[in-house]
Amino acid sequence: MAVTPDASLGARSPEFPLQDAPSPEAPANAPAKLVFGLGFAQFGVYLAILTPVMVTLALRVSQIVPDGDRSAALGQVLSVGALLAMIGNPVFGALSDRTTSRFGRRRPWLVGGMTAGFAGLLIVALGSSVLTLMLGWALAQLGINAALSALTSCIPDLIPEHQRARVSGIVGMMMSFSMIAGSALANAFSGSMALAFLIPGTVGLVSVGYLVAVMKDRPARAGAFEPYSFREFLRSFWVDPRKHPDFAWNFAGRFLVFTGASCVTSYQVYFLMDRLGYSDDDVSGKVLVGTVAMVVAIVLGSLLGGQLSDRSGRRKPYVLGSSLVMALSLALLASAQSFGMYIAAVIVFGFGEGLYLSVDMALAAAVLPNPDESAKDMGVLNIGNALPQSLVPIVAPGLLAIGGGSGNYGALFLFGAVAAMLGAFAIQFIRSVK
């Protein structure tokens, strides 16, 4: 899964005004149904993609692969899907920017992407081999990231400047709620993996359908962009670090911090099963409890971090502190021998992640190279989120095998702690932000 940063913090291009500019005397607000639609779509799309990443994909692999091979098999499935998500998000974002369909430039990618994502989830739910799961998950990641690339551009497209912070806050919270809802659905339908995949996918389709019905969307103006050539394809993944060093340092820091986070999100199910001894039937409920505790901590950390950072006008100290808190939580997980210790560790992790996310969004907006290409540049920055989801499952089996066997979670989580600390220090090299 590619966890996509909120592009609403960037400015939209004035070439495509989708609404009349509000007057200084009486600024117009976006309709309530549109704000609800954006939040609902964010919730639904992330519900469809995060539920498998957090719980159901690991359980699905466990159903068809022997216990000793399941970590490596899960790594194969996750890494291929995350790699395609990393490629797809900026590419689909650039194609969406150029779409001249009479239905608009966002609607086709929202509907088409979520439909393809649902088809991929269906293949995963019914597949009976690792190869089938890999193909289905690849399609799900490509489709849902196509929808996400369009969705993250809707706020700068459709929401007036004076309202964007509030709407961004509402939309941003939906990812946390989708984590709780996804864990609850996985627990409720633990006896039917098909429903555990298809119900979140259905909610994603319905939520995107509602947004498409209430939003205004205009096609791109013909000739406004260069044709999408191979050169433009390559440019979708590149921002020159020599010209924009602050953007490059933010990318490096984000990549390292999310490397640490991916160690938790990708392998918590097997950690609970292998180290703490929970069965396939019991583990979904334990993940639900842990997810609720983590999300509450994320919300608290996000509210506190955003308020303190805005009040002080400083970003880097909070990114540094939050990244070190996440590293501490990973060290706690490495030594956890009970469910209580696991809960304590994920609470610390959630608080640190909330602090990080609240400040990192503002930091990302401050170092974007070109506000008129915010969708493309946020897509590049999103590679820093997505690439760890591909690389961690590749290196995890080797770390888990240290010392013999396949359950050295201490090595895996300590690796994540070191990555998070390095990410914290990388952010300190940014010069344009305090």
pLDDT tens readout for residues 9-68: 334 444 444 444 444 455 678 888 998 999 999 999 999 998 998 889 988 998 888 877
Q: Which of 179, 211, 237 is the last residue of a domain?
A: 237
- Rounded to an integer, what distance in angstroms lies between the CA atom of residue 354 and that of residue 305? 7
Answer yes or no: do 247 and 222 share one domain: no
pLDDT value of position 169? 64
Answer yes or no: do 158 and 284 share one domain: no
The domain that holds 127 is classified in CATH as: 1.20.1250.20
Residues belonging to the chain: 434
Cβ atoms of 88 and 142 closer than 8 Å: yes
Answer yes or no: do 231 and 319 share one domain: no
Interval 140-168 mean pLDDT: 80
Q: Which of 219, 237, 255 is the last residue of a domain?
A: 237
Q: What count of other Cβ atoms lies within 10 Å of the Cβ of residue 235?
A: 17
The tokens for 11 are 């400015």
- Rounded to an integer, what distance in angstroms lies between the CA atom of residue 88 and that of residue 102? 23
pLDDT, tens only, 207-266: 999 999 998 877 766 656 667 677 777 766 767 777 778 888 888 888 998 899 888 888
Answer yes or no: do 326 and 257 share one domain: yes
- Structure-token match 């117009």, residue found: 28
Answer yes or no: do 245 and 226 share one domain: no
How far CA 185 is from CA of 141, 173, 351, 404, in Å, comes to: 20, 19, 24, 35
pLDDT, tens only, 75-95: 888 888 878 887 887 788 778
Answer yes or no: do 110 and 203 share one domain: yes
Q: Which of 192, 214, 237 is the last residue of a domain?
A: 237
Answer yes or no: do 179 and 264 share one domain: no
Residue/partner pairs of 331-337 with CB below 8 Å, 24 or more apart? 331/413, 331/414, 331/417, 333/264, 333/271, 333/409, 333/413, 334/409, 334/410, 334/411, 334/412, 334/413, 334/414, 334/417, 335/410, 336/275, 337/275, 337/276
Percent of the chain with pLDDT over 70: 84
Domains in the chain, number: 2
- Rounded to an integer, what distance in angstroms lies between the CA atom of residue 427 and that of residue 309? 15
Residue 16 inside a domain? The answer is: no
Cβ atoms of 269 and 283 closer than 8 Å: yes
Residue 1 inside a domain? The answer is: no
Answer yes or no: do 269 and 391 share one domain: yes
Residue 12 inside a domain? The answer is: no
Residue 342 inside a domain? The answer is: yes
Answer yes or no: do 417 and 339 share one domain: yes
Answer yes or no: is pLDDT of 291 > 70.
yes
Residue 426 inside a domain? The answer is: yes
Which structural domain range is residue 193 located in? 31-237
Answer yes or no: do 342 and 231 share one domain: no
Answer yes or no: is pLDDT of 110 > 60.
yes
Q: What count of other Cβ atoms lies within 10 Å of the Cβ of residue 282?
A: 15
Q: Is the pTM of this model over 0.75?
A: no
